[in-house]
Structure 1
Amino acid sequence: MTVPSTTRRSSADAAGSAPEHAEAQRRRRGSRFQPEIQGLRALAVLLVVLYHFWPEHLPGGYVGVDVFFVISGYLITAHLFKEAAQTGTVRLGRFWARRIRRLLPLSLLVLLVTAVSAVLVLPSTAWQSTLRQIVASTLYVQNWILAADSVDYSKLDEQATAVQHFWSLSVEEQFYILWPLLLVLALLVTGARAARTAQAVRTTFIVVLVALGAASFGFSVWYTAHEPAQAYFVTPTRIWEFTLGALLALWMGSSQFTGRVANLVGWAGLGMILASAWLYSDATAFPGGAALMPTLGAVLLMMCGGREAGTGVHWWFSLRPATAIGDWSYAIYLWHWPIVVFSPYLSEEAKHWYIKVMLILGVVGLSAVTTRYVEAPLRRARFLLPTWRAVVAAAAGMVLVISTAHAAVAAVERGFADTELSEDHPCYGYRALANPDQCGDPLEGDLGLAPHPAEVTAQNNEPIYADCQADTEEEGVKECWLGAEETDADGTVAVFGDSHATMWLPALDEIAQEHDKRLLVLTRSACSPRVSALDDDSNACVRANAEVMDRLAEDDDVETVVVAGSQIHSSFSGPDDDLELPETDLELTDTARAMYAPIDAWLEAGKEVAVFGEVPRMNKETEDEQTLPECVALHEEDPAACRDEVDDTHVGDRWLTRSVEVFGDEDNFHFIPTEDMLCDDEFCYAVLGGAITFRDNSHVSENFVRSATGEIGQRLESAILSST
């Protein structure tokens, strides 16, 4: 859509030959196509692709998505304005039908191929999460799923699925729904529809855009500062990026600033995009204000430039290689990420740079083919021109993708080998390690795995005590009651800690029932069992823990307190009061003193305090790449490949384990070791007695906890019986 500036031409343009210049102007005015836009699309997709293949070398390449958002806002608004200026409104059905014909055929094809490929290539642990996100991507709500998952502590160890990149397409589709609806409503309210003048429509569009963009940008800055994980994905933080392109379309149309100065501004815009791709990283608070650099860079590059051979920035972006990549950019974006995810599972050689180059070339070739033979024909297909047919075809395609994904996963899961093993087996789980004379080598045997790795992984998303753990920032103290019925109970056992305390509930619930005790659960995700100094900046975790410490110390019905936590946590300040802890040779940090404060308070209050030692942290060096159940799924014939040396699993300060050196002489202190239930003197195991030991890399699986219930009960017996 290149129509260069008329009144905005610089003196450098006027210095040329007038006849030649006028002829050039006429040629460019006669075309609405802007090849440099396709070149900019090429740049955007290449930034994203290079970032995904080499994140360590281009850590901010994700800004290519933001460039796409600006381009989309520009092109879509230009089209909507043209129609509204001519007719006084926007025919929503026709607009959405065009979006369907343009976007859905290829996206549904990629989702369909990915659904089938996932069960053939990925380990079983990834199937359910991939299925869930394929459904979300098909319905264009993937960004909201990822936003929810980003603050769900149980999902933090999950790996990116092969369709995670559909989050940006979901944002775009939501904008395509919202924006024309707002415009139609605004045209009706302002009377611009009746006026049917370009100026009235333009004014209405600009007013709506400025209001929408300002609100979105303000929210983006605020939300990125407060909830950065969610802010990256949610639609309201990104709307303003579309409005930048939209305002450019309304202000300049397809005209541009040209000349030497404008060309320099265009090069500066390119520099802003490349600088952000080079300087930004995953640690950058994004989008927020940081997104201004790549998006304004895109605006400047679209608005200003020159076409002089060699020096004109738009000349470079209009070259055939650039425009060809731009033509295929949508397909490249869709295909490249599944290749990134699948390739390491297909070959260990995929990590080498030359293999990555070959994969990128393959993606480009596949994208060229599918653009020509899938996207282009269906976009122009006459039988899809009626709006109702496009909508029906879209719905049918979505149903096909979702049903195929479900069927593929279900078919393969039905093929899991039957096993004689169950949790009741005398050599299942911990019992295999505890009874070597009866069970033999706990890693050997032909009984198989129970449950399968995929089912163990699912425990992260479907915990059996889902309502018994407070969210990290949930205000107040959340109580959950398990164990014996209140009418039958003789006293209470309280559980205090983070998710590493919650994971022991399958055993603690049963033990409490056996001893006719109520079980009061006071756990909170990502909240270490400590009491730090309170001040105005204290978060919900610190405030709640202080309240829990005081309440349990004063509650005569609480006889025993069980404390458990992760060996990895952030550093935090010490407690308010100077603790008079028993003498020890340990050098106690503020973190240690904060963790020992509640233990000391409850011991002073006469409570029996049982402290669980921290469990091993498995696969610490590779946890960003795979979870322990995934490792087992990949090495079912040799689960020993997933074990760790004991020393390698000690990755935190382990102050709870060392608490025995401080409180060991106290009569009402009880230390409950846990490492020996998962490790011997040399190794910590991924599989014991056919049971996968961890549901991720640090939380013991529910089935393994149940297998150790008898042993845990024996170790807790003195703490519970001493209180009666």
Structure 2
Amino acid sequence: MYRALDSAAISPVTAGETSSEPASKRFGFRADIEGLRALAVGAVIAFHFGVPGLPGGFLGVDVFFVISGYLITGLLTDEISRTGRIDFLQFYARRARRLLPIAFVVLVATLATGALILAPAEQDHVTQGAAAASLYASNIWLLFQRFDYFAPESALNPFLHTWSLAVEEQFYFVWPLLLQVGASLFRVRNLPWLIAAFTLASFVACIIVVGVWPPVAFYASPTRAWEFGIGALAFLVPLPGILRRPIPARILAWTGLAVLAACIVVMSERNTFPSWSALLPVFATAALLAAGGASDGRALGLLSSPIAQFLGKRSYALYLWHWPIIVFAQILKPELTGWERLACGALTLALATASLRLIERPLRLSPSLMTRPRTSLVLGVGISLAGALVALGGHVTARRIGNRPEQRLIVRAAEETPLVSSTPSCMQKLEHTRPTTCAFNTTATGPNVVLLGDSHAAQWFTPLEALARERNLRLTAVLKSSCAVADVPVFSTRLRREFSECYAWRKAAIDQILAARPAMVILSEHAMGYVISPTAPDKDDAAMVDAAVWGQGLKRVLKRFSDAGIPVTVIADTPRPGFNIPTCLGRAQRRGHPLSSCDVKASVATNADLAIAEGAAVADLPHATRLDLTPQFCGDGTCPAMRQDHVLYRDANHISEGAAIRLKPALERMLGPGLDAATR
């Protein structure tokens, strides 16, 4: 059943026959694999550059994972069969020579470019990503930072793409040890069984985790290891005899290529990934590799074409350079034309070619380094540490610039958040389904007022808490992040599925408030930010939600409070710029541009249809009212980023603490009569 793993037969040469040739020849260069690398990196670059018609281009990373599992398993099992052991020093020395020098150059170039065009707070964050990248821990760092690979804000992180390199290196750290121990304990012939068990366990973990917290399944090495395992099994487990013949092998290869191409065209970021759907591109890649192995790489001539070989040889450098280039290009000019994207591609190819010729190839093939693995390893460790030190230096510099008076005002606006938002027990997270209440001004003898909603309700907490103290009222916060209180369907872009936890929390929260019978409910939420179905528009604009559906859902909730005789006031959502205001101001300040360049048109930041729908929702309910503070933010068709030297937003949609505090008089003027009536 399994391919023989003795010294005479580690890699098929023709139709599964064994060979007694030297290992270097038996496991030699495969042009089809080089071509598959070209396909993988081309798909990823096309996806990142926004090429239409290829929404599944991110699957190129999965192709790389399968190729890595195939090649590394072949090389290491060949070495075990010939020598009885893996030369770990040589293995890691080879990795260091090939990967680290060019990665260091890209890291330094990226940090230097960022220092010129990014806001200090941005550059501070980028330096953290650089340090993680230099230590091959990007995937872990991104998890702790709660970075969604597909979220719009991820497009501003020039080290985002290094997550996959971190996963690969973590695999390379564990895999040789697993193979060596497995071969010692279970014999080489039984390695396929061990790897199959390892692969199955990883896949099961992936399926379980992706249903609970997709980012962990996406970034974590243990939930990605099964893809490497499939590649390993594609090498170790021979094809059935009939498929090793030239024509069947060619059919298998073309089938694999067709399935892989279909996945790249049909699948998209809307698919929960990696999950069951990941099996298609992974097995398609494995089929291509196995078919090529059965025919000595000749099953698919397309992958051996000159252009495929040209790109395949540069795949690593192309992957490293392309993402920082497109990130910085889009920062300098958010709406790139097709020609400008082509220019970015040409620059990527030029830098990749220069890197291959001047850095990667000379060091990888250096005779002095090849014969001195310890020197290679020391050099590699030194380069990694140097990268971390360069990142640390950039971090210190960014902090120093950020502390300058003209930048400090902007940085402070981004850093300050309401107390209720930074208190974990007050702001329920995505996974929570049971509401908790946070009580404030508990010594007051007056009635209780409830603040209900999401983070856009929380942004009003500070002025409302001040009003409660002044009026001898108790204030209770019932809040959940990214959860609409309006009775509408919600599709979580972070969980990549319908937000069932929100539905459970919403029902429980409303029931709990009705039972408590507060004197008043103040409801506010990020109405313009909700995606109400997986097929709704996912652009970061104010037209994301269906106004009619939202208005009807809001009315159903308001009616429950009104029918119970509980006054309820809706604070309309604040204007939504759609881009990070402090970041924009920091960049403008850094480049000497006018700060007014960060102002946004009112027609873009507001949604008139939504305002009409919300007005209709409260119109015929006796105990429901709606307040709209939009005039406090926008005038003459413009919503400014700053007013009287105060930054109005702390990110792309939340108002700053300073803005909320300064709006207390307006809020009291509009809310006061309702509070007076409710507390008599």
Q: TM-score range by the shorter chain?
A: 0.7 to 0.9
Partner secondary structure for residue 55 of structure 1: coil
Note the 1:150-189 alignment, pairs <5 A: 157=153, 159-189=155-185
- Structure 2 residue 199 is the aligned partner of structure 1 residue 244: no
Question: Hey, what does 1:554 align to over in structure 2?
Answer: 515
Partner secondary structure for residue 120 of structure 1: helix
Question: Hey, what does 1:12 align to over in structure 2?
Answer: none
Shift of residue 476 of structure 1? 1.1
Note the 1:674-685 alignment, pairs <5 A: 674-680=629-635, 682-685=637-640
Partner secondary structure for residue 451 of structure 1: helix
Shift of residue 462 of structure 1? 11
In 2, Cα distance between the equivalents of 1:610 and 1:397? 59
Shift of residue 393 of structure 1? 4.2
The one-character-per-residue Cα deviations of 1:346-388 (angstroms, maximum 9, x if unpaired) are 567x833344334323322322222233233444564697676
Question: Hey, what does 1:35 align to over in structure 2?
Answer: 31
Q: 1:679 to 1:54 in 2, by over 3 A?
A: closer
In 1, Cα distance between the equivalents of 2:588 and 2:397? 21
Q: 1:418 to 1:324 in 2, by over 3 A?
A: closer
Q: 1:695 aligns with which of 632, 650, 665?
A: 650
Residue correspondences, number: 639
In 1, Cα distance between the equivalents of 2:23 and 2:136? 40
Q: 2:435 aligns with which of 477, 489, 492?
A: 477
- Structure 2 residue 598 is the aligned partner of structure 1 residue 616: no
The one-character-per-residue Cα deviations of 1:58-109 (angstroms, maximum 9, x if unpaired) are 2222222121111100111112212322444435455334333332222232
Amino acid at match of 2:422: Y
In 1, Cα distance between the equivalents of 2:22 and 2:154? 57
Q: 1:508 to 1:162 in 2, by over 3 A?
A: same
Question: Hey, what does 1:16 align to over in structure 2?
Answer: none
Shift of residue 243 of structure 1? 1.4
Shift of residue 708 of structure 1? 1.7
Question: Hey, what does 1:110 align to over in structure 2?
Answer: 106
Question: Hey, what does 1:371 align to over in structure 2?
Answer: 356
Amino acid at match of 2:606: H
Question: Hey, what does 2:501 align to over in structure 1?
Answer: 540
In 2, Cα distance between the equivalents of 1:344 and 1:502? 32
Question: Hey, what does 2:554 align to over in structure 1?
Answer: 595
Question: Hey, what does 1:264 align to over in structure 2?
Answer: 251
Question: Hey, what does 1:403 align to over in structure 2?
Answer: 389
Residue 40 of structure 1 contacts residue 317 of structure 1 at CA under 8 Å; is this kept in 2? yes
In 2, Cα distance between the equivalents of 1:479 and 1:399? 47
Residue 493 of structure 1 contacts residue 560 of structure 1 at CA under 8 Å; is this kept in 2? yes
Question: Hey, what does 1:564 align to over in structure 2?
Answer: 524
In 1, Cα distance between the equivalents of 2:463 and 2:148? 24
In 2, Cα distance between the equivalents of 1:141 and 1:35? 31
Amino acid at match of 1:473: E
Question: Hey, what does 2:667 align to over in structure 1?
Answer: 712
The one-character-per-residue Cα deviations of 1:554-611 (angstroms, maximum 9, x if unpaired) are 336x433221112233559xxxxxxxxxxxxxxx967545434454444455544332
Residue 116 of structure 1 contacts residue 405 of structure 1 at CA under 8 Å; is this kept in 2? no
Bigger radius of gyration, 1 or 2? Answer: 1
Partner secondary structure for residue 479 of structure 2: strand
Amino acid at match of 1:165: H
Partner secondary structure for residue 400 of structure 1: helix
Question: Hey, what does 2:193 align to over in structure 1?
Answer: 207
In 2, Cα distance between the equivalents of 1:297 and 1:347? 38
- Structure 2 residue 599 is the aligned partner of structure 1 residue 643: yes
- Structure 2 residue 311 is the aligned partner of structure 1 residue 325: yes
Amino acid at match of 1:703: G
In 1, Cα distance between the equivalents of 2:488 and 2:12? 64
Q: 1:80 to 1:513 in 2, by over 3 A?
A: farther
Shift of residue 161 of structure 1? 0.8
Question: Hey, what does 2:620 align to over in structure 1?
Answer: 662
Shift of residue 671 of structure 1? 3.7
Give TM-score, length-normalised by structure 1. Answer: 0.77
Residue 258 of structure 1 contacts residue 305 of structure 1 at CA under 8 Å; is this kept in 2? no
Shift of residue 481 of structure 1? 3.3
Amino acid at match of 1:212: F
Shift of residue 395 of structure 1? 4.3
Question: Hey, what does 1:520 align to over in structure 2?
Answer: 476
- Structure 2 residue 422 is the aligned partner of structure 1 residue 465: yes
Q: 1:66 aligns with which of 38, 62, 67?
A: 62
Q: 1:377 to 1:570 in 2, by over 3 A?
A: closer
In 2, Cα distance between the equivalents of 1:318 and 1:397? 34
Q: 1:608 to 1:71 in 2, by over 3 A?
A: same
The one-character-per-residue Cα deviations of 1:121-167 (angstroms, maximum 9, x if unpaired) are 334453243233223323323224445555889x8755441111111
Q: 2:345 aligns with which of 344, 347, 360?
A: 360
In 1, Cα distance between the equivalents of 2:49 and 2:625? 51
Shift of residue 500 of structure 1? 0.8
Residue 12 of structure 2 contacts residue 294 of structure 2 at CA under 8 Å; is this kept in 1? no
Partner secondary structure for residue 281 of structure 2: helix
Residue 32 of structure 2 contacts residue 292 of structure 2 at CA under 8 Å; is this kept in 1? no
Partner secondary structure for residue 351 of structure 1: coil
Amino acid at match of 1:361: A
Amino acid at match of 1:472: L
Shift of residue 26 of structure 1? 11
- Any unmatched runs of 5+ in structure 1? 10-21, 193-200, 420-447, 573-587
The one-character-per-residue Cα deviations of 1:620-674 (angstroms, maximum 9, x if unpaired) are xxx4xx43334434545434444344343333634555554234x54xx554332
- Structure 2 residue 45 is the aligned partner of structure 1 residue 49: yes
Q: 1:676 to 1:384 in 2, by over 3 A?
A: farther
Partner secondary structure for residue 236 of structure 1: coil
In 2, Cα distance between the equivalents of 1:336 and 1:589? 42
Shift of residue 553 of structure 1? 2.9
Residue 219 of structure 1 contacts residue 237 of structure 1 at CA under 8 Å; is this kept in 2? yes
Residue 127 of structure 2 contacts residue 394 of structure 2 at CA under 8 Å; is this kept in 1? no
Amino acid at match of 2:198: L
Amino acid at match of 2:604: D
Q: 1:544 to 1:81 in 2, by over 3 A?
A: same
Shift of residue 118 of structure 1? 1.1
Amino acid at match of 1:555: A
Q: 1:329 to 1:462 in 2, by over 3 A?
A: farther
Amino acid at match of 1:465: S
Shift of residue 496 of structure 1? 0.5
Query: What is the identity percentage for the equivalent residue pairs of Structure 1 and Structure 2?
Result: 27
In 1, Cα distance between the equivalents of 2:256 and 2:262? 10
Residue 77 of structure 1 contacts residue 246 of structure 1 at CA under 8 Å; is this kept in 2? yes
Residue 447 of structure 2 contacts residue 474 of structure 2 at CA under 8 Å; is this kept in 1? yes
Shift of residue 532 of structure 1? 7.7
In 2, Cα distance between the equivalents of 1:26 and 1:416? 60
Q: 1:522 to 1:412 in 2, by over 3 A?
A: same
In 2, Cα distance between the equivalents of 1:461 and 1:334? 39
Shift of residue 40 of structure 1? 1.9
Name the stretch that deviates more: 589-598 or 676-685: 589-598
In 2, Cα distance between the equivalents of 1:571 and 1:267? 40
Residue 158 of structure 1 contacts residue 627 of structure 1 at CA under 8 Å; is this kept in 2? no
Amino acid at match of 1:375: E
In 2, Cα distance between the equivalents of 1:271 and 1:33? 24
Partner secondary structure for residue 481 of structure 1: strand
Amino acid at match of 1:509: E
- Structure 2 residue 585 is the aligned partner of structure 1 residue 627: no
Residue 66 of structure 1 contacts residue 294 of structure 1 at CA under 8 Å; is this kept in 2? yes
Give TM-score, length-normalised by structure 2. Answer: 0.82
Q: 2:95 aligns with which of 95, 99, 120?
A: 99
In 2, Cα distance between the equivalents of 1:385 and 1:461? 60
Q: 2:263 aligns with which of 256, 273, 276?
A: 276
In 1, Cα distance between the equivalents of 2:430 and 2:474? 25
Residue 104 of structure 2 contacts residue 384 of structure 2 at CA under 8 Å; is this kept in 1? yes
Amino acid at match of 1:66: D
Q: 1:715 to 1:108 in 2, by over 3 A?
A: same
In 1, Cα distance between the equivalents of 2:162 and 2:417? 23
